[in-house]
């Protein structure tokens, strides 16, 4: 593809990580723009080769410019998998895999909460009560069946950890994957397999797959009817894979046993929604704890992709036609903030460090220099 002459970036990094990112492109002009200053971003992109951005591909980057590669600093690219982005005919990449170890831990956190009836035990502790009704029937993870739907980075990390717990593991992915001989069952969508065995037989069903038009509302009324009535669903993927009304009804009607949800169709999730108050539901606000220096892991992906870009080699975490997503409204998480039409003056007044973490700098000159 040739040399990268100019990079424009909106990511929210501290000084140390921004300095390292800047040095990934030692021969390039490197310009920082606040992610909410869309006019400046569009202007700087006019003669840039690469944009490294906080969220999904914003419409301001789809106009007349020289961009050849947009790196999105998050894992799921469904918010960028739209017609106007594909029409741009450039590379769009993500940061999938940077948090896989702790995402796997987060899945197990939900599963353990359900096994150990955490809400009941904490309520008893708060009242100084020794013993919880029904505790003789509590069961752990050992020897139970779990189905992992999506065997990418997160699914594979989870499988390894659940194997150590002594669980019987069944896995589904659209595409064939090698290894993992300890699996009790391996189902491949492109070979004609379905998720039905997992739904009908597994005590735990964990979602670690991408959100696409094909997977949108994969878990609906029909899927929940096939699940065991004491099965526990974990969604660590994207909210749109699960129909919120259908999940709510399935839980209210005791068609499934419970759910652990880090992602939901609408984020932030409405405070008056009944899911909040269901005793068998555990919700975290899309906030998996970080691996040590998650930004540095993103930078390593960008570094390798910069090398591949200039060498003309296949890019890591590349958005493809198979990821196309027209369903839903993409109005959750980063999409709400980064692709909204909120005036930049209003966004600048928000407590951004509360949600994005501390940066520790105000002037890009503090890090924008070469070693």
Instruction: Pick the closest to residue 94 from 315, 314, 322 (CA basis).
Output: 315
**DSSP conformational letter for 332:** S
- Concerning whether 286 is annotated as a catalytic residue, the answer is yes
Q: For residues 281 and 251, is the Cβ–Cβ distance under 8 A?
A: yes
Separation between Cα atoms, residue 183 and residue 282, nearest integer Å: 27
- Concerning whether 238 is annotated as a catalytic residue, the answer is yes
Q: What is the DSSP string of 248-305?
A: HHHHHTTSSSEEEES--SSSSPPTT-GGGG-TTEEE--S-PPPPTTHHHHHHHHHHHH
Tokens of 71: 């790196």
370 C-beta neighbours (distance < 10 Å), count: 10
Q: What is the DSSP string of 4-25?
A: --EEEE-----HHHHHHHHTTS
Q: Which of 98, 117, 144, 238 is catalytic?
A: 238
Sign of CA dihedral 29, 34, 37, 38: positive
Q: Which of 43, 105, 120, 267 is catalytic?
A: 267
- Concerning whether 74 is annotated as a catalytic residue, the answer is no
Output phi, psi for 80, to 5 deg.
-100, -10
Give 138's contacts (C-beta < 8 A, 6+ positions apart): 115, 116, 117
Q: Which of 74, 144, 217, 286 is catalytic?
A: 286
User: Which residues form the catalytic set?
Assistant: 238, 267, 286
């Amino acid at each position: 593809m040739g040399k990268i002459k100019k990079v424009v970036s909106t990511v929210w990094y501290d000084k140390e990580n921004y300095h390292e990112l800047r040095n990934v492109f030692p021969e390039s002009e490197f310009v920082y723009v606040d992610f909410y200053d869309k006019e400046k971003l569009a202007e700087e992109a006019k003669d840039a080769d690469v944009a490294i951005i906080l969220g999904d591909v914003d419409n301001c980057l789809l106009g007349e410019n020289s961009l050849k590669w947009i790196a999105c600093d998050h894992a799921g690219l469904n918010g960028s998998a739209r017609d106007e982005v594909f029409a741009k005919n450039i590379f769009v990449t993500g940061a999938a895999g940077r948090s896989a170890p702790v995402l796997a831990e987060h899945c197990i956190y939900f599963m353990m909460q359900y096994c150990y009836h955490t809400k009941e035990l904490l309520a008893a502790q708060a009242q100084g009560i020794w013993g919880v009704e029904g505790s003789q029937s509590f069961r752990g993870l050992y020897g139970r069946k779990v189905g992992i739907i999506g065997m990418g980075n997160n699914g594979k990390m989870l499988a390894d950890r659940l194997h150590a717990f002594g669980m019987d593991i069944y896995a589904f992915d659209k595409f064939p994957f090698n290894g993992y001989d300890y699996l009790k069952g391996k189902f491949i969508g492109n070979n004609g397999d379905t998720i039905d065995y997992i739904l009908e037989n597994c005590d735990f069903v964990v979602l670690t797959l991408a959100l696409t038009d094909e997977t949108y509302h994969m878990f609906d009324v029909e899927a929940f009817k096939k699940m065991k009535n004491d099965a526990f669903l974990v969604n660590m993927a994207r909210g749109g894979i699960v129909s919120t009304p259908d999940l709510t009804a399935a839980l209210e009607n005791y068609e499934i046993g419970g759910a652990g949800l880090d992602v939901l169709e609408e984020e932030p999730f409405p405070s008056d929604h009944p899911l909040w108050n269901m005793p068998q539901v555990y919700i975290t606000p899309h906030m998996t704890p970080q691996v040590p220096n998650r930004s540095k892991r993103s930078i390593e992906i960008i570094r390798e992709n910069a090398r591949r870009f200039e060498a003309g080699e296949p890019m890591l975490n590349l958005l493809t036609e198979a990821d196309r997503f027209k369903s839903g409204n993409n109005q959750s998480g980063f999409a709400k903030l980064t692709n909204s039409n909120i005036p930049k003056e209003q966004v600048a007044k928000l407590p951004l460090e509360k949600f994005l973490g501390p940066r520790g700098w105000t002037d890009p000159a503090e890090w924008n220099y070469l070693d």
